[in-house]
Copies of this chain bind each other. A is one copy, B any other.
Amino acid sequence: MTINNTFVYLEKRYLFSEIASRVAEYRKSHPGAEILPLGIGDVTLPLAEPMTRALVKASAEMGTPKGFHGYAPDGGYPFLRRAIASYYARLGVSLSPEEIFVSDGAKTDLGAIGEIFEGGTAVLSDPIYPVFYESSLLAGRPVVLLAATEKNGYRPMPDALSEKESYLIYLCSPNNPTGVAYSSAELQQWVDFARRSGSLILFDACYEAYLSSDGFHSILEADGAETCAVEIGSFSKNAGFTGLRCSYTIVSNRILLDGRSVREAWARRQSVKFNGVSYPVERAAEAALSREGIASWRKQVDYYRENARILAGVLTEKGIPFVGGKDSPYLWLSCGKDSWQFFSELLDATGIVGTPGVGFGKAGEGLFRLSSFGSRETMEKAAERFYTFL
């Protein structure tokens, strides 16, 4: 018995652990220097009042004989599954509760879902959120990378893929890290390709709330998607749940592979390897989908979007090419040099921590991600220092 050899394919450290470690070094060598964190995509505004209220109330219930809750249903409490189904109904997407699987994080589910499939090449964009790339490597699954570049508007399409092969296609729109969203027509093309080739789409919808352009908020809005697309959504980036852990994966009853139900396989996998999300967190998530809850986090999303506009203003003024920031909390800018070098120079000169594009894949070399998930004060300071630096 040895350590699984697929580990050798991974970079020694996970991207954000590497950044944290470099920032720690910087702190040591620059005591007292103010750091402006625009690196990791972690929300910073406090949990809004409707969700805090629900969380506190359900937490207190846990201490009472009547309100105590033991193991949650694997797939989530009916009240939350119903709330998620209602949230999708606004898009004209009809879901039954058993098609919705509540989980402790999109990262967890994206890392796990590959387990239920055998064969299939993973199709990933480059750059990409590292989790899906790395978990494909760990699973020993072959990977095809589609470069997202200026040339294709950072929106790679299936042109180079064969219709005779079936793929596991990971799509994230609005995209992390580029901040670019596919149009509805483009998503429809992906769904059509998946249907023709017998492929499965894993759609990461974690940033849907940031979409300000017209277009699908969910892949399930595309015709026929219910037979070929799994959607992963999260409460992290809209409702501010990064520190609470709640997400959901939607697997339609109509997705079959060789006549076998993908939904049933995922349900079985979850029953073996997952034990549900805590009751207070599910109650807080339910509150996030109430009318009052949605209104509260829309304000927060607007706040982060305004932050992105402030950063975008500096880039525009300085003539730095960039995308994102409009449909996304992320800006993806051309740094014109080795992206780790830019990371270091920027940190040294300004205390701004961003994310080197190459950390998301080779096609990210020469590019750089800025996250607008900070306070207004941080953004304004960063904009000022960035302006001087560029």
Which residues of A pack against B, CB within 8 Å?
1-5, 7, 10, 13-14, 17, 40, 42-49, 51-53, 55-56, 59-60, 62-65, 67-72, 74, 104-105, 107-108, 111-112, 115-120, 130-131, 134-135, 138, 166-168, 198-200, 240, 242-245, 257-258, 260, 262, 265, 268-269, 271-281
Q: 7 closest A-B pairs (Cβ-Cβ)?
A: A1-B120, A52-B63, A111-B273, A14-B271, A42-B70, A69-B243, A46-B68
Q: Are B118 and A244 in contact (CB under 8 A)?
A: no
Q: Are B131 and A2 in contact (CB under 8 A)?
A: no
On chain B, the residues within 8 Å of A45 by CB distance are 65, 68
Q: Which residue of B lies closest to A198 (CB)?
A: B1
CA distance A272 to B114 in the complex (A): 13
Q: Which residue of B lies closest to A282 (CB)?
A: B243
Q: Which residue of B lies closest to A119 (CB)?
A: B1
CA distance A272 to B51 in the complex (A): 28
Q: Are B52 and A107 in contact (CB under 8 A)?
A: no
Of listed A59, A65, A135, A279, residue having the most chain B CB within 10 A: A59
CA distance A87 to B257 in the complex (A): 48
Q: Are A62 and B243 in contact (CB under 8 A)?
A: yes
Q: Are A280 and B62 in contact (CB under 8 A)?
A: no
Looking at the assembled complex, report how far the CB atom of A254 sits from the nearest CB atom of chain B, in whole angstroms: 15
Q: Are A280 and B280 in contact (CB under 8 A)?
A: yes
CA distance A271 to B5 in the complex (A): 17
Q: Are B63 and A273 in contact (CB under 8 A)?
A: no
Looking at the assembled complex, report how far the CB atom of A326 sits from the nearest CB atom of chain B, in whole angstroms: 24
CA distance A241 to B113 in the complex (A): 26
Looking at the assembled complex, report how far the CB atom of A349 sits from the nearest CB atom of chain B, in whole angstroms: 26
The one of B42, B72, B112, B244 in contact with A62, judged by C-beta atoms closer than 8 angstroms, is B244
Q: Which residue of B lies closest to A165 (CB)?
A: B1
Q: Which residue of B lies closest to A66 (CB)?
A: B46
Q: Which residue of B lies closest to A62 (CB)?
A: B47
CA distance A281 to B130 in the complex (A): 27
Q: Are B63 and A47 in contact (CB under 8 A)?
A: yes
On chain B, the residues within 8 Å of A135 by CB distance are 272-273
On chain B, the residues within 8 Å of A244 by CB distance are 62, 278-280
On chain B, the residues within 8 Å of A43 by CB distance are 70
Q: Are A243 and B279 in contact (CB under 8 A)?
A: yes
The one of B5, B17, B62 in contact with A118, judged by C-beta atoms closer than 8 angstroms, is B5
Known: A68-B243, A245-B278. A271 touches B2 (CB 8 A): no
On chain B, the residues within 8 Å of A14 by CB distance are 268, 271-272
Q: Are B119 and A2 in contact (CB under 8 A)?
A: yes
Q: Are B49 and A274 in contact (CB under 8 A)?
A: no
On chain B, the residues within 8 Å of A49 by CB distance are 63
Looking at the assembled complex, report how far the CB atom of A196 sits from the nearest CB atom of chain B, in whole angstroms: 14
Q: Are B280 and A107 in contact (CB under 8 A)?
A: no
Q: Are A245 and B276 in contact (CB under 8 A)?
A: yes
Q: Which residue of B lies closest to A273 (CB)?
A: B111
Q: Are A245 and B111 in contact (CB under 8 A)?
A: no
On chain B, the residues within 8 Å of A166 by CB distance are 1
On chain B, the residues within 8 Å of A269 by CB distance are 138
CA distance A268 to B40 in the complex (A): 18
Q: Which residue of B lies closest to A44 (CB)?
A: B70
Q: Are A115 and B4 in contact (CB under 8 A)?
A: yes
On chain B, the residues within 8 Å of A67 by CB distance are 46
Of listed A17, A44, A271, residue having the most chain B CB within 10 A: A271
Q: Which residue of B lies closest to A375 (CB)?
A: B65
On chain B, the residues within 8 Å of A64 by CB distance are 46
Q: Which residue of B lies closest to A53 (CB)?
A: B63
